[in-house]
Amino acid sequence: MDDVIKELMKDLQLDYKDNTWEVKHGGRSVTCVKHKALEKIAAHKQIRFDPPAMIANDPDKRVAAMCVTGHLGDRAEWAIGEAAPSNNKNNYPYAMAEKRAKDRVILKLLNVAGDYYAQDEADEFEEAKPNNVEPRKKDPEPEPQPDPEPAPEPQLSDDIRNWANQVNDSIENKNNMEKPGKYSAEQMFIDQYNRLLDDLDNCKQQSHLNAWKEKNRQWLDRFKKDKQKEYQEILSWYNVKKGQIEVGKLSSIREDIPI
């Protein structure tokens, strides 16, 4: 089962041992793949993604669920990514939901789903942490905020199941049905948020950071005006990357996001 992933990593000059690790699951050993490696494989294979279709969208309760459809040649596969306080302790549920959905789609399109698992699935397994990944630095502490009133977490199972059936029918029947979840202003901010962090993650020196700020000044201003919470998150990640550059110890700010 290792042949497909190993060959693709070989083509991309990625070290297989550095980007995968074995974990115990259901009494057997399974292989997990880092998110960053899967993204590089998807680009190499020219996998195309449709804009995510939102299923659940509640930023106040930190709940997000979306369906992502990917294409490899004439094939299409879809998967759902979800993030809620019960399975995501961070303040960026939209990015986590998209990350989970895309990784699942990539593995499906490569016909290795079930043989390989994405990095975000690993915490559910025994002995899930890879030995060669350094402990991630704590996220910057947010400013103290008044404790919100406790609210019950919304039940998403019915909505997700209904949405999955609709998307599945549209792919299998190929009847050109209009897909729900048009590209909204909210989705535009989600996509730009992820792009900003991906570009930031590729900065290797201070000049790259300066260029990143200049190139994205317009979008940073828009986040500062309309999405202050996400703007503060972006600034925090910028400071993390700046600190990495200053001490000369670079690592990804996104690939080891805890779930």
Query: What is the tens place of the pLDDT at every residue in 105-116?
Result: 999 999 998 888
Q: What is the pTM of this model?
A: 0.52
- Which range of residues forms the domain containing residue 121? 1-131+157-181
Averaged pLDDT for residues 223-238: 89
Question: Domain for residue 233, yes or no?
Answer: yes
Question: Cα–chain-centroid distance for residue 120?
Answer: 9
Residues 86 and 17 in one domain: yes
Q: How do strand 63-72 and strand 28-33 relate by DSSP bridges? A: unpaired
3-state DSSP of 106-157: HHHHCCCECCEEEHHHHHHCECCCCCCCCCCCCCCCCCCCCCCCCCCCCCCH
Closest by CA to 198, choosing from 117, 132, 118, 99, is 99
Read off the pLDDT band of 10 (50, 70, 90). very high
Question: Domain for residue 197, yes or no?
Answer: yes
pLDDT, greater one: 171 or 103: 103
Q: Where are the alpha helices (DSSP H) in 147-248?
A: 157-173, 185-201, 206-215, 217-226, 228-247
Residues 161 and 40 in one domain: yes
Per-residue pLDDT of 25-42, as tens digits, reads: 777 788 899 999 999 999
Question: Domain for residue 137, yes or no?
Answer: no
Residues 189 and 82 in one domain: no
- How many percent of the chain have pLDDT more than 90? 25
User: What residues pair up with 67 in beta bridges, in sequence order?
Assistant: 53, 80
Residues 175 and 240 in one domain: no
Name the domain count of the chain.
Answer: 2
Residues 7 and 111 in one domain: yes
Question: Cα–chain-centroid distance for residue 228?
Answer: 21
Residues 197 and 122 in one domain: no
Residues 218 and 113 in one domain: no
Residues 195 and 174 in one domain: no
Residues 174 and 50 in one domain: yes
Beta carbons of 21 and 27 less than 8 angstroms apart: no
Residues 95 and 60 in one domain: yes
What the block records as the tokens of 128 is 């899930």
Residues 4 and 60 in one domain: yes
Question: Domain for residue 58, yes or no?
Answer: yes
Question: Domain for residue 152, yes or no?
Answer: no
Residues 194 and 120 in one domain: no
Q: Residue 87: is it exposed, middle or buried by C-beta count within 10 angstroms (0-12/13-18/19+)?
A: middle
Question: Domain for residue 14, yes or no?
Answer: yes
Q: For residue 78, give the amino acid letter.
A: W
Per-residue pLDDT of 45-77, as tens digits, reads: 999 999 999 998 888 888 999 999 999 999 999
